[in-house]
Structure 1
């Protein structure tokens, strides 16, 4: 018996030995890495075999090699400072040679094209990649892009923010969420975009005039939220993002999974957040917590590289509080609140409770997109989508009626789009498209309050075409767009007896653009953009009447508003004297005929003087704002510079200057962004440190600073409260990556408002009543597998 067992053991050992000898471990993987924007080779690119943690670096000509590799599946992780990391699966059966294209080199968050100017891009933009989004998992969409050149935020407290690009926001700024124009109650200054940024792989802010294909009325600025195509990777991959934020004691958890299959590729993304009362430098901002629960699903399939199907669905759900001290009972109390250092009803105890005043918002989106390729550069896209948005706003009401919303809006939006692209010999590119939008917006009559905006139906139809030519030294692009819009409105009268007043409005708008780009040298380019656009007044600008609880103000529309006409010109100069230094300068001027602005309403006091109106209602005392029309100019410039010293130190500095002027009344435009400077300095440790089966890599230390100037381009009495003083915020970040055979974990900590200074921001409507946020410490991790 023992002899038989020994023979069996010997046989097994010999089988293992011969099997190992038979396995071919003499294969190599070699390759060359290029920048896909410049086609130039990239040096100092890190290439890591995930299974064995064996790594190498590309040489000065972009070459690399791994020798003595066994056959089987191998994951290569390719990373380069400022580039979006890339993962490649190789089923190694023989010697393999690769040609790897890395995304555009990125220092900080601004797209940099490397040592040679990219001659294919006509529009000025800023881009945030997936890594930047993951590293800021606690932030909203607005918080993510706040530090980009030319970008500011319109805020109402800490949980509500919406982007401003070159002074434009609301109805004038389009947000494209996975090919769909984001719908909902986008007009409100107290309404944040209902988008989970962690569902995106790339966020692009277009600041030029080349946004003509993204819908009517954007007047030159667009924010694009995009997902990447699911990679042909048969294994299940995913990541978990978690962040804890001390200010608000907030927890942020995100899960993302994806898998490719020839039958169908899929990706899911889910996010939950919970915050309690935020805190200024000295006191709690009571009732400013918020909660989120979001989910998205992506399904993709290709048929022989000719037909591509993309299905995307998402749900965004939030409940957020409004500062308790922003609602007061009478004019005397409101005047006291506007001048108080500490808001009324401030409690010294922290709470996760969210009571009235508050908002509850649900936004659901579903999209089906088909793309057919006639040839490699010729394609047609058909897209159909639907959106459902339900917004409820709750006031402090007597008799236990605070649980009944004072605003309850339900909106259905239906989108269709057909777009054809044709390229001629890689020189000419022609694009034509048609977009249709149908909106049905209704109020719940059970609120017991006259609606802030009336019920309406809206039909929009747009046709656009663009033509561009790319040459070696000079490129140009022209485009034209026509839009027709029909509004049917049913309004309840404000006077007695109550009756239904019906309106029907027809608008016809045109837009046009022309762009020319001069490739001066391999290091410099000059781009000139000119765009004309028309925008008809929105439903809120025409018919609003009542309390807008989100901003604690009464708002009134104006029936006789005409459409806006805007002409925007930009001049952009890009200079990259080396891969370690760049300067980007953008100058812009936009003139408006019929600029629509929401400003404090004035009335005569007992002395016959015009003063800003404060009105007492049964729901309290509130400042009054009214939509008015004038002629205006908005102009300014953005300048950003990036530099590095070798592979360890990286710097970034940005300055934005903006002025808005009411040329008809010869006064400044109100609610224009203050000028600001942002700078950061990052140090990356070159050496990695081994830890058992893993290693720590890419440890980074960063300090940053944001200085916001006082808004002095405003007259005394134009606003209810004078603009706050300038402020200076410092931040600190520390992060490192633990690389394991099948996992990667990024640990990070971040300090915002490092010195806990007291300040108020001009574009935060909460500044009427309270200071802005104090010190906040974020601790988190990103786990990838």
Structure 2
């Protein structure tokens, strides 16, 4: 197989010389009705992105074919059209100024402001085409981005090998707050409701604070709809878990106000595995009918937004709720028992153990426009309620089932209040400064017959400033500063049943007391000061670069400071350390870009050094908690993380070629070289390749039709942390077809694809079920249809 891909790459280089004759130039200008050139207008041609020059000029080299074009810039009504390109063509656009003077905060999803950071832009159409059951898994084709899988309906983002509490997810400027530390549950985000999305790779701590070490997934759901009634209906089906779902969106705008509503529902059954047996803790566990029992689930999400847009003021109020329920494979909780995995005759039944999560969110975004500046005010409330249910069981005598909800094992109820204000001031066309205040308050309550995480209250206050200086059209400099003050107050928890159990097993009173005091009262303060400098430089029309240097930080979380119990989600006894310090690090990030003749190449090396990286480390001693195995302790160590990302896109006639690869290397840096293990939860080096071919280019019914074949090759992951297993490499093939159907006024986007085409048995190194030796899902056939209506 490797010879095939080597030959493909060589063919690309060879064909480039022959492709020049089949490429045509599409060029023109974008101006206002008064004839003024519009500098920085955003132009999307097919899947490629362009921006106009200072004179409003744009130019693109494209292969022969049919293209959909979208043109937009803040303050003007956007345009879209479809053209047939068979020769060099000039196409000028005249944009009409918006009556309401739309401001940046409301429409920034379609104008990508020049920035020194590395940013990947994704729209709703891409997410729906690539939808794989969750937000993170739907983005895995992007370079440097991986998903930590939790069954078939949930996942967490990993950017550059950093995940969990090291990647921030923000919606409309507000950072999502749940139980991010857990590897056994996903994001409470509806991927089908996302309008626009940006992935900021590299440290985003200056603007988003703690949790943004690896990057930021920035969701934008504040796009202003067009006048009148518009919307869409989206449906999909998946074979691997008999998934059925749909999402409906509707919007209405009149004069200077608008309202939007969205609803998503899906249900899925136990998912298929390409195996009939797994081995865990020396038990051979059968997988009946190659279906993993009790992995079914369901989800119901709704979202509403009302907004007003005026000349110098705009505001939106968004209210949303995400509800998720999914089962755990019975072998993932407690001691393996073959009888528990016997089929029950209903592949959609959700039995105990299962998890249930609800995330309710209210976000208010307001923007005030002044003569030389703008003020953004973001207020938010979030309620994240997560539960794990399992038939009551105790590992030691004396513990009685609770009278209320006796099978509720873990219950985390987190309330988060946030307030953020940012003032943007334009000194002139070349200098802009942002000054912001950011405050957040959390309250986490617990219930359940098991103990893992104590109750806590926390607060964080920050001030930050970012200045951008455009020295010339070729050079943009950015300087960012941030100071944080955080505090956490944790409640103690004493377990008398555990004390009696240990005394009965001949442990000393000192040892029994130490174990029974599951968490101590803790009140700590933290401070952190950080800085980042960035440089965006364009050498010429083809070559450009971005360089970022700076510091990074992350405050220790409640789980790292106060955990002490058996975490079924990680299959071990986890213990926090109340003396941990905030993570501190230094980062260097470079992005090199080349674009010409439909070649788009990006090479991104980066490096991070942490003075005290926090991670779970096997202690080398066995826990005295029954059935808990080895004790894992949160600890800190110097660490190095470095890597390289590569993305290549090329158009040759009707052909499209794409490659996205990632190389990761990291390790702990301790006083003993024999203990310099790699960091845990590190994805394996991987490369994704896709070849597409345009069909029906002359058809008036089937637009933007393409058939494609793809391959994901993942290397063996043998650079593992203590307690992890080596994961073999694998190669997955897939194929797909997509088209836009049009009959008169009727439109439909159709997407058909097959993942894991050859039903390959493989393991994902970062998967929740990896420790149980459970492989990933088998062959999946998926069909999705989107039908827009109204002004869309």
Which of the five TM-score ranges fits, normalised by the shorter chain? 0.7 to 0.9
Match of 2:331 in 1: 325
TM (norm. structure 2) is: 0.80
2:215 to 213, 221, 226: 221
Matched ranges for 1:2-21 at <5 A: none
Match of 2:377 in 1: 382
Judging changes above 3 Å, is the alpha-carbon distance between structure 1 residues 204 and 645 closer, same or farther for their aligned structure 2 residues? same
Match of 1:392 in 2: 387
1:158-191 CA-to-partner distances (Å, cap 9, x unmatched) read 3331111112112221111221110111111112
Matched, 1:419 2:422: yes
CA distance in 2, matches of 1:146, 1:365: 26
Contact 1:428–1:467 (CA<8 Å) still a contact in 2?
A: yes
CA distance in 1, matches of 2:249, 2:741: 19
1:121 to 108, 111, 115: 115
Matched ranges for 1:49-448 at <5 A: 56-57=83-84, 60-63=88-91, 120-234=114-228, 236-262=229-255, 264-282=257-275, 283-303=290-310, 305-329=311-335, 345=341, 347=343, 351-375=347-371, 378-398=373-393, 404-444=407-447, 447-448=448-449
Matched, 1:522 2:541: yes
CA distance in 2, matches of 1:306, 1:777: 49
2:783 to 757, 779, 784: 779
1:679 to 666, 684, 689: 689
CA distance in 2, matches of 1:389, 1:119: 33
Matched ranges for 1:398-547 at <5 A: 398=393, 404-444=407-447, 447-449=448-450, 451-470=451-470, 471-494=472-495, 496=499, 501-547=520-566
CA distance in 1, matches of 2:475, 2:81: 45
Contact 1:637–1:657 (CA<8 Å) still a contact in 2?
A: yes
Q: Comparing 706-715 with 286-295, which one deviates more in the overlay? A: 706-715
Q: Give the number of equivalent residue pairs.
A: 675
CA distance in 1, matches of 2:703, 2:629: 55
Matched, 1:561 2:562: no
Contact 2:649–2:657 (CA<8 Å) still a contact in 1?
A: yes
Contact 1:47–1:57 (CA<8 Å) still a contact in 2?
A: no
Shift of residue 287, structure 1, vs aligned partner: 0.9
> What SS class does the counterpart of residue 491 from structure 2 fall into?
strand
1:655-697 CA-to-partner distances (Å, cap 9, x unmatched) read 100011111132322321110010111111243445xxxx222
Contact 1:122–1:210 (CA<8 Å) still a contact in 2?
A: no
Shift of residue 536, structure 1, vs aligned partner: 2.3
CA distance in 1, matches of 2:92, 2:212: 46
> What SS class does the counterpart of residue 341 from structure 2 fall into?
coil
Contact 2:222–2:316 (CA<8 Å) still a contact in 1?
A: no
TM (norm. structure 1) is: 0.80
Matched, 1:710 2:729: no
1:702-758 CA-to-partner distances (Å, cap 9, x unmatched) read 11111111112237xx225x3121011111111222113333112221101000011
RMSD of aligned alpha carbons: 3.2
1:43-96 CA-to-partner distances (Å, cap 9, x unmatched) read 764479xxxx9975477454279xxxxxxxxxx9xxxxxxxxxx99999xxxxx
Shift of residue 550, structure 1, vs aligned partner: 2.9
CA distance in 1, matches of 2:113, 2:130: 31
Shift of residue 419, structure 1, vs aligned partner: 0.5
Matched, 1:701 2:707: yes
CA distance in 1, matches of 2:344, 2:494: 44
Q: Which structure 2 residue ranges, 5 or more long, are not aligned?
A: 1-34, 44-49, 71-79, 100-106, 276-289, 394-399, 500-512
Contact 1:219–1:534 (CA<8 Å) still a contact in 2?
A: yes
CA distance in 2, matches of 1:485, 1:55: 52
2:51 to 37, 41, 63: 37
Q: Where does structure 1 differ by over 6 angstroms across 4 or more consecutive aligned residues?
A: 30-34, 87-91, 399-403, 497-500
Match of 2:567 in 1: 548
Contact 1:749–1:780 (CA<8 Å) still a contact in 2?
A: yes
Match of 2:638 in 1: 631
Q: Comparing 740-749 with 123-132, which one deviates more in the overlay? A: 740-749
CA distance in 2, matches of 1:518, 1:176: 28
CA distance in 2, matches of 1:418, 1:572: 30
CA distance in 2, matches of 1:141, 1:532: 29
Contact 1:37–1:104 (CA<8 Å) still a contact in 2?
A: no
CA distance in 2, matches of 1:54, 1:229: 20
CA distance in 2, matches of 1:123, 1:360: 37
Shift of residue 124, structure 1, vs aligned partner: 1.0
